[in-house]
């Protein structure tokens, strides 16, 4: 019998399908296809368990409304928790859990697919051929063999990207001040950020968004990079100062850009805006560039990842209900 209600926000039909499949009979997911925010939080009134996603607004305001309504657990369906005011949650006695790793393979494979698509100009080629144009002008690519790839963040995803690109014959350098040993144990070179910026032909971001990493790619960092560098961001939008990157694209300093995340993605991604005039001039300008590939936070989006997200979320919830230790709890330090 379903007797424990869970209000799941930002839950699309595909999320609902996987959550329902993973849920034991005692859980009932009430899925809302709208983001959690101070405006929508009261919809969870009287519900002890809420589930939220990557762009939901879990600021103090939202948390206070949820707390007043009786919410005691927020089960995030994502790894990152930079969208949560952890201090406020702690003070209000709301437990937060996450899904630490759903499929690092999905994101690693996606980052590499962005690199290859950009270098071989696949989006342009695809559109061109559909128009009956088989000319190769403007489609000249480059070999990955012999190129240096710099990875900022050598955790689960960064190391998978490193292993895979090593097989392409690339030289890999990794900047990760907190994980140097694991990186060198795997046979990869651990370098300073400045060395990585100076040596890399391709730079891919695989670190979390923290106070230290916000705008890790800014005007100064770009100035230290090679002319014609490729930048890939599948981690978090605010790791890059997007305006600085746009300016570097216009000057040809950055020759390729792949973004699956964007600083202002909260008001755009995961929704269909095709009938609107998008007001964000930065993303609109980026989308017009032939050497830029933007996708809407889909790196994680594989069957395996959705299954794992749902199963871990359900386990986190059942552990909470059973009063067990929450192994995936995230807390303010
Ligand atoms: P992880 O926790 O295994 O690895 C992150 C690494 O970043 C750690 O080794 C850590 O030491 C390092 N790091 C922390 N601060 C750093 C700094 N200042 N400079 C350089 N490195 C630093 O995390 P994982 O699973 O590899 O994920 C990486 C990121 O990928 C996540 O933080 C998340 O933002 C993003 N992600 C994006 C998804 C998407 O669909 N686009 C899906 C899942 C994760």
User: Is the CB of residue 101 below 6 angstroms from any atom belonging to ligand 1?
Assistant: yes
Q: How far is the CA of 192 from the centre of ligand 1 (A)?
A: 17
Please determine, looking at this structure, whether the domain spanning 104-294 carries the CATH number 3.40.50.720: yes
User: Is the CB of residue 181 below 6 angstroms from any atom belonging to ligand 1?
Assistant: no
Assess whether the region 4-102+302-321 and the region 104-294 belong to the same CATH fold. yes
The pLDDT value given to residue 1: 52
Tens digit of each residue's pLDDT (9 = 90 or more) over 111-132: 999 999 999 999 999 999 999 9
* Alpha-carbon distance values, 296 to 31, 158, 225, 274, 277 (Å): 21, 20, 26, 13, 17
User: Is the CB of residue 212 below 6 angstroms from any atom belonging to ligand 1?
Assistant: yes
The strand pairing partners of 95, in sequence order, are 73
Choose one of 150, 159, 164, 207 to mutate for the ligand 1 pocket test, by most ligand atoms within 8 angstroms of C-beta.
207
Say how many C-beta atoms besides its own lie within 10 A of residue 165's C-beta: 22
Provide mean pLDDT across the span 274-302.
Answer: 97
Which of 159, 236, 263, 308 is flagged as catalytic? 236
The pLDDT value given to residue 155: 95
Collapsing DSSP to helix, strand or coil, 199 comes out as helix
- 94 has a pLDDT exceeding 70: yes
The strand pairing partners of 75, in sequence order, are 51, 97
Provide mean pLDDT across the span 32-54.
Answer: 97
Encoded tokens for 231: 């930048």
Q: Are strands 73-76 and 27-31 parallel, antiparallel or unpaired?
A: unpaired
Active site residue 124: no
Using CA atoms, how far apart are residues 148 and 301, in angstroms rounded to an integer? 28
C-alpha distance across the termini of the chain, in Å = 38
* Alpha-carbon distance values, 168 to 163, 172, 182, 297 (Å): 9, 11, 21, 25
- 2 has a pLDDT exceeding 70: no
Active site residue 265: yes
CA torsion angle 196 199 201 203 (round to 10):
0
Could you identify the atom of ligand 1 that is nearest to the CA of residue 178?
11
Active site residue 297: yes
Share of the chain residues as helix, strand and coil, in percent rounded to the nearest 5 = 40, 15, 45
pLDDT above 70 covers a percentage of the chain that reads 99
Assigned CATH for 4-102+302-321: 3.40.50.720
Using CA atoms, how far apart are residues 2 and 34, in angstroms rounded to an integer? 23
Domain locations in the chain as residue ranges: 4-102+302-321, 104-294
Could you identify the atom of ligand 1 that is nearest to the CA of residue 100?
25
- Helices 303-321 and 13-22 cross at an angle (nearest 10°) of 50
- Ramachandran sector of residue 224 (left: φ over 0; alpha: ψ -120 to 50; beta: rest): alpha
């Amino acid at each position: 019998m379903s007797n424990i209600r869970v209000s799941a926000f930002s839950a699309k039909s595909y999320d609902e399908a996987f959550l329902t499949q993973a849920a034991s009979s005692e859980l009932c997911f009430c899925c809302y296809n709208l983001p959690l925010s101070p405006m929508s939080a009261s919809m969870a009134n009287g519900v002890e368990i809420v589930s939220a996603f990557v762009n939901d607004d879990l600021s103090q305001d939202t948390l206070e409304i949820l707390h007043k309504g009786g919410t005691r657990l927020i089960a995030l369906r994502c790894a990152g928790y930079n969208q949560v005011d952890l201090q406020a949650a702690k003070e209000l006695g709301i437990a937060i859990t996450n899904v630490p790793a759903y499929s690092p393979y999905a994101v690693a494979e996606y980052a590499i697919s962005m690199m290859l698509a950009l270098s071989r100009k696949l989006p342009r080629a695809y559109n061109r051929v559909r128009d009956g144009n088989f000319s190769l002008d403007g489609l000249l690519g480059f070999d990955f063999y012999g190129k240096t790839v710099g990875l900022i963040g050598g955790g689960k995803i960064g190391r998978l990207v490193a292993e895979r690109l090593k097989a392409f014959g690339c030289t890999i350098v990794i900047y990760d001040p907190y994980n140097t040993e694991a990186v060198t144990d795997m046979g990869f070179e651990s370098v300073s950020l400045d060395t990585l910026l100076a040596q890399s032909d391709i730079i891919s971001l695989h670190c979390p968004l923290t106070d230290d990493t916000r705008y890790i790619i800014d005007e100064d960092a770009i100035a230290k990079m090679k002319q014609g560098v490729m930048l890939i961001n599948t981690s978090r939008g605010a790791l890059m100062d997007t305006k600085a990157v746009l300016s570097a694209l216009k000057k040809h300093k950055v020759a390729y850009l792949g973004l699956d995340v964007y600083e202002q993605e909260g008001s755009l991604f995961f929704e269909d805006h095709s009938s609107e005039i998008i007001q964000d001039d930065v993303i609109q300008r980026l989308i017009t560039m032939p050497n830029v590939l933007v996708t809407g936070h889909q790196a994680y989006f594989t069957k395996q990842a959705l299954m794992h997200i749902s199963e871990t979320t359900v386990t986190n919830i059942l552990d909470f209900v059973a009063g067990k230790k929450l192994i995936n709890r995230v807390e303010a330090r």
